[in-house]
Amino acid sequence: MAGLYIHIPYCHSKCAYCDFYSMPQADTMPRYIEALVAEALLRKDEVAQPFKTIYIGGGTPSLLGAGTLARLLDRLSGVFEFSAVDEVTVEVNPEDVTPVFLQTLKRAGVNRISMGVQSFNDGELRAVGRRHTGSQAFDAALAIKESFDNYSLDLIFGLPGQTLGSLGSTIERMLELEAPHLSAYLLSYELGTRLYAALMAGKFEEVSDELAYDMYIYVHDTLCRAGYRHYEISNYAKPGRESRHNSSYWDSVPYLGLGVSAHSFDGDTRRFNRANLKEYLSAIESGRAYCTTDPENDENKFNDYIITRLRTARGLDMTDLAGRPFGYLAPQVEKPLHELVSSGALIVGDSGNLVIPHTRWLTSDAVIRELIL
């Protein structure tokens, strides 16, 4: 089975921390929808397996309106075979959510909503340029809960001015909503974002490493006590509610990405659409696919395998790795693996796989780097 990702690059406004490819809503939106369908026709045979999941992300897909999203899904169903699809996710922002919006999506076959809350503290939201208030986000989540039994809420910790106490208040409100899935991200300061510029200008101080760690441990322990399973570095789910689409990325399942800046993987070759809307539209409207092949040798595939497996609670299965076409490279990491296990940065999990203990997940990149060829 495979996944279909559709990128919507438009936003009401760009959040101060965001370095994803996005732009203000513009008069190119109708052209862009047509281009997505045209690209689907150009690339429909790229992934041989039937689609199991669909994910519409961004950007802010919800600003297109539920009617436009429903029509897009309907038109794509005339290009692809969707009969095996069992998870259709749409990302939304709180300011776009209404009961009518949600019901329109539901009638179109959407069965999972992912909403960025980030915080229920209005001051923290303003600090990173979110357009909604905490109460608007809570009300939107309640509306989603009434319409969908499968949904995810995002939060960010380490926000400017955030304390362990204010984070605790946000987590308490999150738990009131009983979302089946929660994503929790440590704020990162990416070069080129407004938040990075403000940090460099001394307008606020980044939370200390010690406080970031305490926040992470608080989030992890609180959510796990509430019945969530920490199944991937930034993701928690009630039993059986893991994101099937995102899990496919970590399991090396093929996926097709449509839209500007989208990535694809057919099981062997990776491709990506460059992050340039003008060029994307010009190419697609001229009947040419815009994707660029990203060649991978065995070393790249080995590294991808290590990175994706160690992001998850399932961890690294050395027997499975050895059986892969690139498994002959495994002896090259025997020494760092031994050192990581000796130091406690890797442990043997219940399944016998090597896993990063949850106390080290916040610095997992450093662990993984030791194993990259």
**SS3 letters across 158-209:** CCCCCCHHHHHHHHHHHHHHCCCEEEEEECCCCCCCHHHHHHHCCCCCCCCH
Respond yes or no on whether the N-terminal peptide bond of residue 168 is cis (omega within 30° of 0). no
Please check whether residue 274 lies inside any domain of the structure: no
Q: Which residues contact 1 (CB under 8 A, 6 or more apart)?
A: 49, 50, 51, 52, 53, 84, 248, 253
Quickly state the pLDDT bin for 268 (edges 50, 70, 90): confident
Domain span at residue 56? 2-249
Where among 216, 249, 282 does a domain terminate?
249
Q: 242 and 311, same structural domain?
A: no
Q: How many domains does the chain have?
A: 2
Q: 308 and 234, same structural domain?
A: no
Q: 316 and 208, same structural domain?
A: no
Q: Which residues contact 263 (CB under 8 A, 6 or more apart)?
A: 5, 257, 270, 271, 272, 273
Identify the residue whose tokens are 């450093």: 366
Q: pLDDT of 57-75, one tens digit each?
A: 988 999 999 999 999 999 9
Please, are residues 129 and 160 in contact by the beta-carbon 8 Å criterion?
A: no
Q: pLDDT of 185-204, one tens digit each?
A: 999 888 877 877 887 888 88
Q: 185 and 49, same structural domain?
A: yes
Q: pLDDT of 226-252, one tens digit each?
A: 999 999 999 999 999 999 998 888 888
Q: 243 and 167, same structural domain?
A: yes
Q: Where are the alpha helices (DSSP H) in the chain?
A: 29-43, 66-77, 99-107, 122-127, 134-147, 164-177, 194-200, 209-225, 244-250, 277-285, 298-310, 318-322, 334-343, 364-369
**pLDDT higher than 90, residue 18:** no
